[in-house]
């Protein structure tokens, strides 16, 4: 083992926490803003978006399985390193690196599908559902898509998740340093707000309990103040 220098085992890929609570993309009756709106009724289990949702669910499952395996490899690699089994620890690290690369491809595919499927599946299946049931579905919450100057794109299932991941990409500590507050609570902090929706990213809580349009405007403001070129748009 003399060819392997001692040091610290560092996982090749960190798995971000996945908040279990629903995203509130529009203000509710908790004083989030002047333009309050009622919650959106969910579609029936066998409703208009079944086909698209099945594919989204499958892609999400793939990502979750990969995250679990990467986490397992990271933990096992750390154990092997402590046991001074550096060759096997390095092997686990390389395996984790390979899976992390594959996971990034799955994430890109997931984002691309979200962007493409809304036109291919959403319109036609909603119309079919409405004609079969004689009902009209309420307009779903708008989503948020963020483009960075290096052509990176963030487009998640909800505006809250997109907003949080965009903050993380800009830099949690940089945004925290701006001292921005929402609902009398720091936008980024180590402690969660008592009453309002937030996402947990990179060890920090990001308040998301305000409208999608406010998220868009705030991201543009943050980008301007920190000199980060971004484009944020709303998607129906």
Q: What is the pLDDT of residue 37?
A: 37
Closest alpha carbon to 85 in 93, 129, 205: 93
pLDDT in tens, 68-103: 888 888 888 889 988 989 888 889 888 988 888 888
Lowest pLDDT segment from 99-113, 158-172, 196-210: 99-113
Residue 178 located in a structural domain: yes
Average pLDDT of 15-34? 42
Q: What is the pLDDT of residue 140?
A: 67
Average pLDDT of 122-149? 65
Lowest pLDDT segment from 109-113, 121-125, 137-141, 172-176: 121-125
Do 72 and 115 fall within a single domain?
yes
Write down which residue in 139, 173, 202 finishes a domain: 139
CA distance 179 to 163: 17
pLDDT in tens, 163-183: 999 999 999 999 999 999 988
DSSP string, the chain: -TTS-------S-PPPP---SPP--S--TTT--SS--PPPPPPPTTSTTHHHHHHHHHHHHHHHHHHHHHHHHHHHHHHHHHTT-HHHHHHHHHHHHHHHHHHHHHHHHHHHHHHHHIIIIIHHHHHHHHHHHT--PPPPPPEEEEEETTS-EE--SSHHHHHHHHHHHH-HHHHHTTT-EETTEESEESS--SSS-EEEETTEEEE--S-HHHHHHHHHHHHHHHT--EEEEEE-
For residue 4, pLDDT beyond 50: no
Q: Are 217 and 38 within 8 A, CB to CB? A: no
Do 61 and 84 fall within a single domain?
yes
Write down which residue in 112, 139, 166 finishes a domain: 139
Q: How much is the mean pLDDT over the chain?
A: 74
Write down which residue in 119, 139, 159 finishes a domain: 139
Residue 5 located in a structural domain: no
In terms of residue numbers, what domain contains 190?
A: 141-236
Confidence grade of residue 137 (pLDDT, cut at 50, 70, 90): low
Do 58 and 100 fall within a single domain?
yes
Residue 38 located in a structural domain: no
Residue 97 located in a structural domain: yes
Confidence grade of residue 204 (pLDDT, cut at 50, 70, 90): very high
> Which one is predicted more confidently, 123 or 196?
196
Do 51 and 117 fall within a single domain?
yes
> Most confidently modeled of 13-22, 77-86, 147-156, 219-228?
219-228
Do 146 and 114 fall within a single domain?
no
Do 129 and 156 fall within a single domain?
no
Lowest pLDDT segment from 19-23, 105-109, 160-164, 219-223: 19-23
Confidence grade of residue 25 (pLDDT, cut at 50, 70, 90): very low
Do 148 and 110 fall within a single domain?
no
């Amino acid at each position: 083992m003399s060819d392997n220098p001692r040091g610290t085992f560092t996982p090749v890929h960190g798995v971000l926490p996945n908040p279990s609570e629903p995203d509130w993309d529009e203000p509710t009756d908790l004083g989030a803003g002047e333009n309050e709106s009622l919650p959106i009724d969910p579609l029936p289990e066998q409703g208009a978006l079944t086909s698209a949702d099945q594919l989204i669910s499958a892609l999400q499952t793939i990502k979750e399985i990969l995250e679990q395996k990467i986490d397992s490899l990271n933990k096992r690699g750390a154990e092997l390193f402590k046991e001074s089994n550096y060759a096997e620890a390095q092997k686990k690290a390389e395996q984790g690196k390979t899976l992390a690369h594959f996971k990034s491809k799955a994430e890109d595919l997931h984002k691309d599908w979200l962007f493409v499927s809304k036109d291919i599946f959403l319109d036609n299946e909603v119309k079919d559902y409405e004609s079969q049931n004689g009902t009209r579905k309420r307009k779903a919450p708008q989503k948020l898509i963020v483009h960075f100057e290096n052509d990176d794109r963030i487009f998640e299932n909800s505006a809250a998740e997109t907003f949080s991941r965009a903050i993380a990409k800009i830099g949690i500590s940089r945004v925290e340093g701006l001292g921005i507050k929402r609902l009398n609570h720091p936008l980024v902090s180590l402690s969660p707000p008592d009453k309002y929706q937030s996402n947990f990213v990179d060890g920090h809580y990001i308040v998301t309990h305000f409208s999608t349009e406010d998220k868009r405007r705030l991201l543009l403001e943050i980008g301007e103040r920190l000199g980060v070129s971004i484009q944020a748009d709303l998607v129906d």
